[in-house]
């Protein structure tokens, strides 16, 4: 099968290509001799795609237009979306999610990029640093959240112990005081830099060394080469990392659920946890409507970030 496609591709590039092969390469029609092969090869993917994406997507959209608790179903049109717009808690969750994403983009990401650029210089001990930085990334969010719940604990938490050791007030309730809860939850992921570091290091390794050699001959310092050569050439990968980071925070659930349950008074509530609450109340249609809003936000973010960073374009 692959031989047939290969030969078809090859022949299409030849000057003596046939009419039928040209049509195959242009993707307009599948030649008669290949239709069954193509159908068979596509079937598993289509079945999986249909089962795990198309069908759930249809269910998502259909039920978002209904009052549905898994048992009874009644069509309500756009009522769920109207209710979302008028629900203060939704906007609070949206604002919180935006802040989580902002912390990710403006704190976590720069930290990771700078760290990756430094480690890419292969400074002494860079392999050990890379390992240490990558470890939190392989720990599950739930375990990470539990650990940080203990770090923030008022009675025996590490943070208050450290503050007390340097003479600062050591009795603050970080997670259940509305003034600090959101920042405390956001702060848990700030040092999860492993993935960003690894990606940046890999991209740095692919940069043509002659650029640095030429800059060195011109007398450029390390800082200048990093600023004017490395950073611009990381544009593509930074755009991708921004995308991954924002989408990751858009789907933030486990850390918030375990650490605060969204409280106090919804101060840490994320959009996905808000949808989950609706789900546990049996308002599955409403939860799915929130899911569609999150999906729409995700698509908007993908398009915006790709355009802003011209992701995929040659540097």
Residues of this chain that bind other proteins (CB under 8 A): 70-71, 80, 83-84, 87, 89-90, 149, 153-156, 171, 173, 175-178, 261-267, 274, 277-283, 286, 289
CA 308, chain centre distance (Å): 17
The nearer residue to other proteins, 118 or 293, going by C-beta atoms, is 293
The nearer residue to other proteins, 125 or 261, going by C-beta atoms, is 261
| Nearest distance in Å: CB 200, other proteins | 37
| Nearest distance in Å: CB 130, other proteins | 35
The nearer residue to other proteins, 84 or 199, going by C-beta atoms, is 84
Separation between Cα atoms, residue 108 and residue 137, nearest integer Å: 13
DSSP labels for 124-149? TTHHHHHHHHHHHHHS-HHHHHHHHH
| Nearest distance in Å: CB 156, other proteins | 8
Separation between Cα atoms, residue 252 and residue 222, nearest integer Å: 37
| Nearest distance in Å: CB 297, other proteins | 18
Closest CA to 201 of 103, 140, 133, 144: 133
The nearer residue to other proteins, 155 or 314, going by C-beta atoms, is 155
| Nearest distance in Å: CB 199, other proteins | 34
| Cβ count near 98 (within 10 Å) | 15
Closest CA to 270 of 130, 74, 94: 94
Count CA atoms closer than 13 A to 193's CA, side-chain side. 23
The nearer residue to other proteins, 20 or 87, going by C-beta atoms, is 87
């Amino acid at each position: 099968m692959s031989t047939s496609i290969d030969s078809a591709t090859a022949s299409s590039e030849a000057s003596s290509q046939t009419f039928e092969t040209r049509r195959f390469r242009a993707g307009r029609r599948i030649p008669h001799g290949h239709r069954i092969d193509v159908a068979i090869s596509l079937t598993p993917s289509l079945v999986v795609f249909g089962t795990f994406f198309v069908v759930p997507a249809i269910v998502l959209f259909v039920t978002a237009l209904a009052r549905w608790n898994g048992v009874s179903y009644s069509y309500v049109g756009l009522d769920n979306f109207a209710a979302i717009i008028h629900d203060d808690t939704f906007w609070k969750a949206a604002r919180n999610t935006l802040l989580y994403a902002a912390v990710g983009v403006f704190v976590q990401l720069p930290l990771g990029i700078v760290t990756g650029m430094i480690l890419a210089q292969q400074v002494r001990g860079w392999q050990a640093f890379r390992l240490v930085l990558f470890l939190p990334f392989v720990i599950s969010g739930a375990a990470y959240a539990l650990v940080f719940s203990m770090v923030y604990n008022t009675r025996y938490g590490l943070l208050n112990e450290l503050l007390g050791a340097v003479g600062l007030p050591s009795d603050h309730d970080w997670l259940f005081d509305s003034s600090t809860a959101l920042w405390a939850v956001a702060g848990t992921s700030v040092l999860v830099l492993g993935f960003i570091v690894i990606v940046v290091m890999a991209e740095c390794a692919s940069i043509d060394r002659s650029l640095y050699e030429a800059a060195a001959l011109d007398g450029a310092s390390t800082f200048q080469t990093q600023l004017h050569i490395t950073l611009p050439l990381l544009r593509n990968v930074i755009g991708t990392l921004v995308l991954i980071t924002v989408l990751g925070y858009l789907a933030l659930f486990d850390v918030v659920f375990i650490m605060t349950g969204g409280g106090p008074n919804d101060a840490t509530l994320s959009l996905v946890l808000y949808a989950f609450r609706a789900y546990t109340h049996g308002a599955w249609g409403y939860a799915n409507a929130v899911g569609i809003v999150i999906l729409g936000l995700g698509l908007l973010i993908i398009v915006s970030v790709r355009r802003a960073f011209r992701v995929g374009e040659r540097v």
